[in-house]
Structure 1
Amino acid sequence: MKDGSAFLNDNAQRIVDGMIGDAERLRVAVSRGPLGECLIDAGANAVGGVEAGLRMAEAAMGGLGGVSAFMDRGSEKWPFTIEVRSSQPVLACLASQYAGWNLSGQDYFAMGSGPARALARVEPLFEALSYRDTASSAVLILETAQPPPRAIVEKVGKATGLAPEKLTFLYAPTQSLAGGVQIVSRSLEVALHKTNDLKFPLENIVDGVGVAPIPAPHPDFLTAMGRTNDAIIYGGSVQLFVKGSAKAARKLAEQLPSRASRDYGQPFAEIFKRFKGDFYAIDPLLFSPAEVIVTAIETGDTFRAGGRDLKMLERSLG
């Protein structure tokens, strides 16, 4: 994680340029906002689709992750699966993909993810990350049905130090195919974020891969949000390759699965209702994959914990 690098936003910009060139094939709508910002609708008024969601996920990871969809016939009723992998998972997932930038304002609510976060560095998480981006353009992903209003574009421009015409906002609601795909593409990211919460040294994380089923979209926001979360919490599997002792790797494997959380055991939509819609009242340790494999590459030991919960997937995904 070298200071002065600029590749997260540069990589994402290349992905965005490719989406613009393939807009008709991807069924996304490209436009310019009132301040000159580039807007890519991947599932709000545009049809979008799975391929658009895959491109969104790759842009969200700053081009440092491979994201693909495949049919896993061994996955019971949910064979359509997303695989995410990265050989620079800390940068791809924490410095870029994590949806940690609160961009709410008046009647607008959205959490920002993507490499623009690494330019703004307004989140406490960046205190643990030495990476600094110096790119001349920035990309931000929003889980919303509406493009960002003028005030939000100005806020992002001020935080990143860029003119609005140098900003690209990719957006799609959770209820859309593209939105659901890019959210479920966060199985590795949630594992990395919880790993950081558990105080495991980020510099010891070498590589990682994660999979999770793609749930059917639903027109109701709460149901759609519940399904995308449950796909990872009860159906996600992640393998991490780490440096350090076998003891540390075993401890991480034991603590990392979602079932270690006090709130494990109900569909996410029901948990959300129980806490009266207060997202931050939910145990943050719930947001992790169901199954975890941790390999200590310096000793050759591998540790496994957790497991996919088919009964919970049945309740949530149907």
Structure 2
Amino acid sequence: MKDGTAFLNDNAQKIADGMIGDAERLRVAVSKGSLGETLIDAGAKTAGGIEAGLRIAEAAMGGLGDVSLVIDRVSERWPFSVEVRSSQPVLACLGSQYAGWNLSGGGYFAMGSGPARALARVEPLFETLSYKDKAKSAVLVLETAEPPPPAVVEKVAKATKLPAEKLTFLYAPTQSLAGTVQIVSRVLEVALHKANDLKFPLENIVDGVAAAPIPAPHPDFLTAMGRTNDAIIYGGLAQLFVKGSADDARALAEKLPSRASRDYGQPFATIFKKFKGDFYAIDPLLFSPAEVIVTAIESGDTFRAGARDQKMLQQSLG
């Protein structure tokens, strides 16, 4: 893809502007920060909801993904799922949606996701991705209960080379309904991220669709984080359409499901406690959908691996 052809931030800005126009219906609060940045609270001091979470997820994907609510009768206790589709999955998921920008500092903790990352390009991941966004405004999604302090706004403005008044921050805590929905909406993204970790050529991934159940929010952060992760790890289903040989597609399918990880088999909150809150000590191969389908479009072969674990979902999701 040529630089600037997808306009991730322009797409996301339209979604954010739509949320501002529908603020009352979406139950989100819109305000201006001290540096002129636009703040959209979707679940911290306002109710937010499922639709707000769906829109945040689409903004996080730079407008290159469709995110919707669907019914999955297989999960009897949790029949409603988030479904994510993208015909540009690498750019939508890794170039935009992945929460890879560390914006912590001074007692504030947040990981940034969304298309502002493609303007800043401060993460090692962008050494793999050739795309460079061109935009006059930028959108960033934060999984937090607090709006970004001035120091973080200034950091984002400097990295994106935009004035603060051209920045829009969408934020909602993990414990909120909107936060829950937008986090589970990363079910396709984690499949792409693991494929990259497995050294599968990203340019060979041409389309993707995925779904995961929506767990109930929980007021405790660790429990809420555990549920959103487990919804993907034990309940996620993803299908990738890839170019290349059938053997390569088969190898990807076999390695991609979460059960290939050494840490598979316990609720995520338990695993997190076991490693004393050190997120990076957890096997990164755990973060992927439970069940994976890989279709080699040039040969027509399809390979399946993994399975959704209803017992683990019942144990974790309540």
With normalisation by structure 1, the TM-score equals 0.99
1:73 positional shift: 2.3
Question: Match for residue 58 of structure 1?
Answer: 58
Question: Match for residue 215 of structure 1?
Answer: 215
CA contact (8 A) 2:75 2:310 kept: no
Distance 2:4 2:276 in 1: 43
Question: Match for residue 316 of structure 2?
Answer: 316
CA contact (8 A) 1:6 1:135 kept: no
Question: Match for residue 267 of structure 1?
Answer: 267
* Partner amino acid, structure 1, of 2:85: R
* Partner amino acid, structure 2, of 1:44: A
SS state at 1:247 partner: helix
Question: Match for residue 88 of structure 2?
Answer: 88
| CA-atom RMSD in angstroms | 0.6
1:6 positional shift: 5.6
* Partner amino acid, structure 1, of 2:177: L
**Residue pairs, 1:29-48, within 5 angstroms:** 29-48=29-48
Question: Match for residue 276 of structure 2?
Answer: 276
With normalisation by structure 2, the TM-score equals 0.99
Which runs of 5 or more residues in structure 2 are unaligned? none
Question: Match for residue 307 of structure 2?
Answer: 307
Change (3 A) 1:148 1:86: same
Distance 1:243 1:71 in 2: 30
Question: Match for residue 144 of structure 2?
Answer: 144
Distance 1:248 1:284 in 2: 21
1:18 positional shift: 0.3
Alignment partner of 1:190 is 2:216: no
SS state at 1:152 partner: helix
Distance 1:246 1:76 in 2: 34
Distance 2:112 2:206 in 1: 26
Question: Match for residue 14 of structure 2?
Answer: 14
CA contact (8 A) 1:6 1:134 kept: no
Change (3 A) 1:105 1:33: same
Out of 69-78 and 58-67, give the one that drifted further: 69-78
**Deviation digits for residues 210-233 of structure 1 (CA, Å, limit 9, x no counterpart):** 000000000000000000000000
Distance 1:48 1:262 in 2: 37
1:80 positional shift: 1.1
Distance 2:301 2:156 in 1: 44
Question: Match for residue 181 of structure 1?
Answer: 181
1:134 positional shift: 1.2
CA contact (8 A) 1:67 1:83 kept: yes
SS state at 1:219 partner: coil
Alignment partner of 1:252 is 2:252: yes
1:107 positional shift: 0.9
Question: Match for residue 287 of structure 2?
Answer: 287
1:5 positional shift: 3.2
* Partner amino acid, structure 2, of 1:285: L
Distance 1:313 1:2 in 2: 42
CA contact (8 A) 1:6 1:132 kept: no
* Number of residue pairs matched by the alignment: 318
Distance 2:163 2:246 in 1: 48
**Deviation digits for residues 237-268 of structure 1 (CA, Å, limit 9, x no counterpart):** 00000000000000000000000001101000
* Partner amino acid, structure 2, of 1:252: L
Question: Match for residue 73 of structure 1?
Answer: 73
* Partner amino acid, structure 2, of 1:157: A
Question: Match for residue 153 of structure 2?
Answer: 153
